[in-house]
Amino acid sequence: MPGPVTEAPAEVGGYALKLQSFSERTLLPRLEPPTRDFILGLAMAYRFTFQELRQVAQAARDLEMWCEEPLEPLWLRLDSAATGTGRERKKALLGSLQRHLLELSRGPKAYPDEGLAAPAYRRVRLEERQTDKEIFGLCPAYSDRTVCCGLYTLDAVRGCPFGCSYCTIQTFYGEAAELEADLSTKLAAIELDPDRRYHIGTGQSSDSLVWGNRLDHLESLLGFAADHPNVLLELKTKSDNIRYLLDRQVPENVVCSWSLSTDTLIRNEEHGTASLRRRLDAAGSVADAGIPVAFHFHPMVHYLDWRDEYSAVARQLVERFNPTEVAFLSMGSVTLIKPVIKEIRQRGGETKILQMELVPDAHGKLTYPDAIKLELFQHLYRELSAWHGKVFFYLCMEPSHIWEQTFGHAYESNEAFEEDFLGALL
């Protein structure tokens, strides 16, 4: 550990005041008190700048959330191997800390056998609210720099009771999810061109099925689909709440999709959602009822046993579903914008979702390096070879070169993709 501070008491007091104001703008207040005190001690001893304090507090938060060796024993270990004094020693220690974090991000991450702790149970109310928000729009992630399907989103409900660690809808809307009070009126006011086809999804701001038909919103959405045969309406879920769909006639242009993941990821990163078995059973019942189903593997996550576990999911899909029952299957990687990363760190709790090498993509969003993405996509696509040429496969938010290396082709434009996709399904 560094030697005692040798400045005059007035200077020490001056830095202490500065440190207090620095601390409030870092993750320090969110850390466990012993870790916070340890970092404050280091900051006083080494006279951390604001950036250094921010960096160390963030490292402590990541280690805490990833359930890796905590900062204090790690720092003491690095300190025992460090040389030099003063600034030189500080620089060496901060460098070693960053290298350690990078190694943990790049290395294969292992989930503990006992699983990561789930966040505290949240009871989320569904409340009808009159809002002046737009409920219909182009997918917010749509871009000309990626090969995009041209999805439109329909936000009938905003907020989600599930606790997926890579999503911030839960924190954004808190304990009350809002359902558009005048949903039928708003749906009737959506202006669609009768001469073109649309793919519209309701699962961007909530889970499409978790609320069942509360306050009749699914009935309104199915009515909207029946009124617009040029629309492919997608209800996307991680639940098994399908009773409402099985009890009635569902328009032919409705597809029910499941977001799928491996058992390990569902257990550790998708708290509160239905297990893989329950999702697949629900999808099987929906398919048996003659409703087309679809699957999304998004985000695909790279961890120690990913290969075997994604293979297992692919096997179950191929065994349980006839490709004629499956409208499409998409794959996507972990792609996060900076405010979401900040929010995940602020929220805390045990999750390894940020334990990955984050590199900027064409839009400045942070994602896996191409090599990792390709490993994931190529592997799953290969495992689903029985469905090649029979099910429509696509990638979400990926540029042409990733398409080409995954499927052996890419679309020249988003319009061509949309045309092919909707031409195959509507």
Is residue 141 close enough to count as binding ligand SF4 by CB under 6 A? yes
Mask: binding to ligand SF4, 219-238, rule CB under 6 A, as x and -?
A: --------------------
Is residue 139 close enough to count as binding ligand SF4 by CB under 6 A? yes
Q: Minimum distance between the CB of residue 223 and ligand SF4, rounded to whole angstroms?
A: 24
Question: Any bridge partners for residue 129, and if so which?
Answer: 180
Question: Any bridge partners for residue 258, and if so which?
Answer: 237, 295
Q: Which is nearer to ligand SF4, 53 or 256 (CB)?
A: 256
Is residue 301 close enough to count as binding ligand SF4 by CB under 6 A? no
**Interface with ligand SF4 (CB under 6 A), residue from 94, 148, 233, 276:** 148
Contact segment (CB under 6 A) with ligand SF4 among 71-79, 136-144, 224-232, 237-245 equals 136-144
Contact segment (CB under 6 A) with ligand SF4 among 2-10, 19-27, 135-143, 336-344 equals 135-143
**Interface with ligand SF4 (CB under 6 A), residue from 15, 136, 142, 407:** 142
User: Pairing between strand 335-336 and 359-360?
Assistant: unpaired
Order of all β-strands in the sheet with 125-129: 125-129, 176-180, 157-158
Q: How many residues bind ligand SF4 (CB under 6 A)?
A: 9
Angstrom CA distances, 296 to 192, 225, 256, 330, stand at 26, 21, 11, 5
Is residue 300 close enough to count as binding ligand SF4 by CB under 6 A? no
Site for ligand SF4 in 378-417 (CB under 6 A): 396-397
Q: Which is nearer to ligand SF4, 316 or 414 (CB)?
A: 414
Q: Minimum distance between the CB of residue 260 and ligand SF4, rounded to whole angstroms?
A: 16
Is residue 255 close enough to count as binding ligand SF4 by CB under 6 A? no
Q: Minimum distance between the CB of residue 290 and ligand SF4, rounded to whole angstroms?
A: 26
Q: What are phi and psi of 343, to 5 degrees?
A: -65, -40
Site for ligand SF4 in 149-168 (CB under 6 A): 149-151
Binding residues vs ligand SF4 (CB under 6 A): 139, 141-142, 148-151, 396-397
